[in-house]
């Protein structure tokens, strides 16, 4: 009898819990659809009601929400609601109004949490804390500092070229993306840590790093929908992680490696070891700065390390890959570029100064067009005005509302860039037209939270293209536009045939 009563009470309790939970969900949906401060904005009701709408396109369909957003704009207009809390604007002329240095701008915690490293400067939500963290690293990415770094960059350019020389004329196939990943990673580690990871010395250019990039993009979409995901994966034994998702092991190992680096940097705080550094480095300067002690812990530096190494390598390498693909399939453009470079660099093994390369109009145009087609971070980057409403034409966007724009959609806008999928450096040649178009070239974003490493990225691209384009002839190997054109938003661009890579033989 007692068991019967107990079971009945359990059934009643379960029913009550189910009813309460159902009422909560119904109330939440009603609030989001009709009572939310952004309920008035157009967009699909399902997207306004649940984040699962976005999750379907990014997790199930794998990085497709960016392109769905473009379709929604065509249906609903230039400003739309894309999830329960966030707005999106598709109007390139508004970009400078949203991404600027006036007033307080914060990041969207919903996006930041997907990165799994909320203590890095890139992922810092709060305006004041971001300004503090950014001020500590800004001097090391200044134009003056990067120009002084040319010998370091050029030495690594030459190392890559030496490896190309070693396979020239053979049947060996080179994954150009992996080669450029190795180069940019070695540059950023030497610059940041005064010790290179040595990817340029490794067989296969350490192709695992390319898989790590892809794993991170997919993980970020899952983490955005299910915030405990990374913590759970980190807590599992390695064998379980490998069984569930082999590439996650690469991500976890990278995180652990960054923590080991950070711990070593924190321990090496005595003056003698610091003086042994061959050039000033970002993290040693942070440790020796007047930042608060909490900003110098191993955990904080580990997350900053991971963010700078990842952001400082991946997007630049992909831009170089896109550039070389398009130059190879359009040899007349490559010949024009070679002629321009050799006019100041007649001996390809005697590199020109960075300042000279920056004055070459066609080389600069090639880089700009490659940046446009490669996009940098391809996902939307929402901003939050925490202390004021902002306005888009007649629309008042309430204080604290995340609102974003997407560089990919701007770069593929045919009204701004006719034939937007075509590689056309010539569109940047005329000085007046370049000045007009530069406003819409936003792979590094703009404003107080733009990419800190923009000067370093430009230097790497100038020096690498000048050497590779004049020293080698590249022959595509089983590579098509499907290996290059963006197909999915995995934070960075993912082509349709991403597993193959962009492959060449060196001639």
DSSP string, 347-366: STTSPPPHHHHTT-HHHHHH
CB 268 within 8 Å of CB 296: no
CB 223 within 8 Å of CB 233: no
CB 410 within 8 Å of CB 59: no
CA torsion 167-171-176-182 (nearest 10°) is -40
Question: How many C-beta neighbours within 10 Å does residue 177 have?
Answer: 28
Q: How are the residues of the chain apportioned to helix, strand and coil, as percentages rounded to the nearest 5? A: 60, 5, 30
DSSP string, 398-446: PTT--EE--HHHHHT-TTTSSSTTS--GGGGTSHHHHHHHHTT--TT--
Q: How far apart are CA 79 and CA 77, in angstroms?
A: 6
Phi-psi region at 87: left, alpha or beta (left = phi > 0; alpha = psi -120 to 50): beta
Phi, psi torsion values for 339, nearest 5 degrees: -60, -40
Burial class (CB in 10 A: 0-12, 13-18, 19+), 231: exposed
User: Which is nearest to 79 in space by CA: 415, 399, 447, 401?
Assistant: 401
In the annotated binding site for heme, the residues are: 451
CB 273 within 8 Å of CB 183: no
Question: How many C-beta neighbours within 10 Å does residue 167 have?
Answer: 13
DSSP character at residue 62 = T
Q: How far apart are CA 302 and CA 304, in angstroms?
A: 5
Q: How far apart are CA 437 and CA 242, in angstroms?
A: 46
Q: How far apart are CA 427 and CA 482, in angstroms?
A: 24
Q: How far apart are CA 487 and CA 485, in angstroms?
A: 6
CB 217 within 8 Å of CB 63: yes
In the annotated binding site, the residues are: 451
CB 131 within 8 Å of CB 448: yes
């Amino acid at each position: 009898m007692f068991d019967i009563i107990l079971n009945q009470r359990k059934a009643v309790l379960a029913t009550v819990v189910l009813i309460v939970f159902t009422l909560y969900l119904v109330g939440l949906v009603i609030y989001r659809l009709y009572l939310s401060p952004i309920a008035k904005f157009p967009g699909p009701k399902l997207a306004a009601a649940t984040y699962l709408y976005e999750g379907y396109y990014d997790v199930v369909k794998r990085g497709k929400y960016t392109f769905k957003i473009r379709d929604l704009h065509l249906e609903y207009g230039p400003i739309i609601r894309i999830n329960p809390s966030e707005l999106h604007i598709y109007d390139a002329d508004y970009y400078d109004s949203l991404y600027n240095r006036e007033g307080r701008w914060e990041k969207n915690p919903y996006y930041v949490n997907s990165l799994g490293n909320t203590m890095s400067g890139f992922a810092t939500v709060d305006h004041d804390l971001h300004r503090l963290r950014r001020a500590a690293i800004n001097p090391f990415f200044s134009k003056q500092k990067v120009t002084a770094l040319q010998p370091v960059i050029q030495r690594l350019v030459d190392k890559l070229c030496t490896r190309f020389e070693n396979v020239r004329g053979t049947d060996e196939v080179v994954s150009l993306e992996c080669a450029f990943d190795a180069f940019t990673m070695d540059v950023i580690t030497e610059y940041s840590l005064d010790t290179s990871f040595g990817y340029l010395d490794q067989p296969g250019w350490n192709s695992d790093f390319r898989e790590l990039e892809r794993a991170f993009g997919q993980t970020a979409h899952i983490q955005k929908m299910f915030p405990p995901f990374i913590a759970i994966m980190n807590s599992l034994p390695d064998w379980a992680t490998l069984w569930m998702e082999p590439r996650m092991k690469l991500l976890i190992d990278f995180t652990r490696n960054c923590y080991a680096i950070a711990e070593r940097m924190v321990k090496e705080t005595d003056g003698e070891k610091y003086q042994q550094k061959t050039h000033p480095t970002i993290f040693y300067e942070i440790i020796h700065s007047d930042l608060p002690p909490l900003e110098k812990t191993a955990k904080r530096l580990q997350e900053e390390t991971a963010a700078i190494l990842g952001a400082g390598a991946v997007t630049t390498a992909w831009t170089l890959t896109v550039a070389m693909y398009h130059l190879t399939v359009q040899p007349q453009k490559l010949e024009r570029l070679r002629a321009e470079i050799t006019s100041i660099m007649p001996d390809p093994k005697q590199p020109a100064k960075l300042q000279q390369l920056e004055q070459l109009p066609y080389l600069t145009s090639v880089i700009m067009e490659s940046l446009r087609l490669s996009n940098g971070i391809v996902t939307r980057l929402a901003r939050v005005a925490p202390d004021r409403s902002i306005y888009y034409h007649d629309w008042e966007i309430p204080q604290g509302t995340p609102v974003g724009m997407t560089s990919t959609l701007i770069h593929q806008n045919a009204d701004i860039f006719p034939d937007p999928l075509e590689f056309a450096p010539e569109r940047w040649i005329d000085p007046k037209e370049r000045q007009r178009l530069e406003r819409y070239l936003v792979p590094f974003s703009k404003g107080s939270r733009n990419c800190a490493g923009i000067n370093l990225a430009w230097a790497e691209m100038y020096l690498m293209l000048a050497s590779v384009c004049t020293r080698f002839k590249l022959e595509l190997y089983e590579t098509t536009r499907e290996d290059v054109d963006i197909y999915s938003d995995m934070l960075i661009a993912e082509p349709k045939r991403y597993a193959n890579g962009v492959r060449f033989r060196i001639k």
